[in-house]
Amino acid sequence: MEIDFISRNATKHLKTRDKIQMILKMIKRGVMIILEEGLSPEEQIELLKETMKEIDPLRFVGIDIISFNGSIMQKNIGKFASLTIIAPGGKVEVIKKSPNQLSIQLL
């Protein structure tokens, strides 16, 4: 499986709709995406809504979204780093998820 790491610079100027279309296009090609800057809860909801419209049992079964938030030390206490992994449905399994570690297995 191809895995693409997408920097926050590549997505920060995109509108939510454009970001979702980019993600769905890649996922439909069988690519797993790791976003340096995670999706907001609102963006995740919109992504799920759009995904549901596109589901086809023979061609596109959906997506898996895994969010990982780890605390980082910066001047702003309490700021969090966020990472979002989006994969074609059923292609990734979370093995361990804690505040300090995320382990996944590709299926």
Res 81: pLDDT: 54
Q: What is the rounded average pLDDT for all residues in the chain?
A: 87
CA distance 42 to 15: 12
Position 76 confidence tier, pLDDT thresholds 50, 70, 90 = very low
The pTM (predicted TM-score) of the whole model is 0.83
Nearest to 58 by CA among 23, 25, 93, 28: 28
Give SS3 for 87.
strand
On the question of pLDDT at 49 being above 50, the answer is: yes
State whether CATH 3.30.110 applies to domain 3-106: yes
* Contact status, residue 43 vs residue 72, Cβ threshold 8 Å: no
On the question of pLDDT at 72 being above 80, the answer is: no
Buried b vs exposed e over 60-86: b needs ≥16 C-beta within 10 Å? eebbbbbbbeeeeeeeeeeeeebbbbb
If you average pLDDT over residues 90-102, what whole number do you get? Answer: 89
Chain center to CA of 80? 16
Give SS3 for 70.
strand
